[in-house]
Structure 1
């Protein structure tokens, strides 16, 4: 046999072996990559409860927590007035529950009870009155009264302010806050001569208010009342 024939036979015999090795490499399964296991402990609060991240908004920012605030209308000393809106709830008596407006005469109308005065009372006093009246028809009535909208508590702005007219009276509102709510002082306002007009026992009182002292955080002991008029000359 010639030398050329021997080389040719060797090449032909090696070819299938190389092809088989390539096919085996292609068909050999690749082992899955296992991600590293985190050994960090989950964040826990002071009470030992595992903290859960807050859900994100579509833009990726954490959702803000919702805070509930009862507001001025549901403080223990709030006095209901005409045109306020009340939510009256009687436990397990949906037909006696609902949203009821206070009429201009200060009265409300309630099923089984009829007309009764609401203006001049706190929500708790009104709830107690309704409870007493319902005992004739309901066994052990449980009544709650919530003021949904305050339309009776207002003060008035007059003079050199951004917006002249009535504004809602919030709990603990100061004259400085009222002026800010009305858009602030006008360009020609005389901040040294601001005063509050108040009717007491049918007589007008003039209460001075030092705007500059208030800006510096000075407490002048002036608490606004419904019906007050702030005059800014």
Structure 2
């Protein structure tokens, strides 16, 4: 008995095959390497801004290997201003240690049970201290040398040629504050030794593993400034090791959000965290298992990046053609930025196979259904 397909089944099968031949709807996203890839014929101009107006395409060439490292912008000029002679100024809450030589009765001994900070002269809330024979002395805003001369001048009425020495036993009036990705965040005193950015970070225990040493914010008098600890630690740039002032707040940002996203035809689609030294395109691809040799289009390795604010476009698209594997050296010279998207597009054959894979089950169901109908009809005849 010969089985023949009914006209409807033949028509449907031919129609499905024809639809395969002209199919343009491919599962998943794709970036084409051909001109005009960004045009969508089905998209209405009123619904969205045309992609050609928001995307600027760049080719990753050997220029990335020739490019000189860019000099980081120096800190704001106001941060580079330093006094010619640094000297500590006494403030409220400081403790002074005053010694009059050859007159132990005027010097309060620290003793074995009391530290100098406990036995010294505390600067009261009215900015004064009390000292025998001298009485109240206004010391807030003065340097220790000025306080020494003032006490010697007044006590000279009672002691011939007094030898006076003044030191600070406890620095309590002025602080800087360190927060963020450091091991011991907190308040740290400003002393008679100049306190710089590196000193404050080291006093707080140093950076944690999640610290972003390129993103350090200094807040002074309500104004924020961005500094780089990398420039200090790794490059030895003294310009970033700024002199701190009382009330400064240092915040070291975390590195959690500094990542790039690797998608498309790679071993594993995943976010890749950036290291303290940055991340290149080659490193991001390697961390994701590389691009898949059997499905990826090596001509289409793309980096999508939000354009800088104020640009005449919204998206920068960088394309690397790695059809010749030696071009991958360019990937190692291309530095990624935080929140970049690395996308490896699929080869045409891989995209076609996905269309076949999705449509074939439907075609087989219809075909075998039509074949079964033919058999039933033949049996009835």
- TM-score class, shorter-chain normalisation, is 0.5 to 0.7
Deviations 1:181-208 (A, max 9, x none): 2122234333222111112xxxx22222
Aligned-partner Cα distance in 2 for 1:127–1:181: 30
Deviations 1:107-161 (A, max 9, x none): 1111121111122211110011112222333333222112222223321012222
CA deviation after TM superposition for structure 1 residue 224, in Å: 1.0
Q: How do residues 1-233 of structure 1 correspond to structure 2 at under 5 angstroms?
A: 77-98=87-108, 99-169=120-190, 171-199=193-221, 204-215=222-233, 216-220=235-239, 222-233=242-253
Aligned-partner Cα distance in 2 for 1:214–1:232: 14
Count residues in correspondence: 155
Q: Show structure 2 runs of 5+ residues with no match.
A: 1-84, 109-119, 254-381
Matching residue of 1:15: none
Aligned-partner Cα distance in 2 for 1:76–1:182: 23
Q: Could you tell me whether the CA contact under 8 Å between 1:85 and 1:147 is conserved in 2?
A: yes
Matching residue of 1:31: none
Q: What secondary structure is seen at the aligned counterpart in 1 of 2:153?
A: helix
CA deviation after TM superposition for structure 1 residue 76, in Å: 7.7
Q: Could you tell me whether the CA contact under 8 Å between 1:76 and 1:122 is conserved in 2?
A: no
Give the TM-score normalised by the residue count of structure 1: 0.59
Deviations 1:39-65 (A, max 9, x none): xxxxxxxxxxxxxxxxxxxxxxxxxxx
Q: What secondary structure is seen at the aligned counterpart in 2 of 1:180?
A: helix
Q: What secondary structure is seen at the aligned counterpart in 1 of 2:176?
A: strand
Aligned-residue Cα RMSD (Å) equals 2.2
Q: Pick the structure with greater CA Rg.
A: 1
Q: What secondary structure is seen at the aligned counterpart in 2 of 1:192?
A: strand
Give the TM-score normalised by the residue count of structure 2: 0.38
Q: What secondary structure is seen at the aligned counterpart in 2 of 1:190?
A: strand
Matching residue of 1:61: none
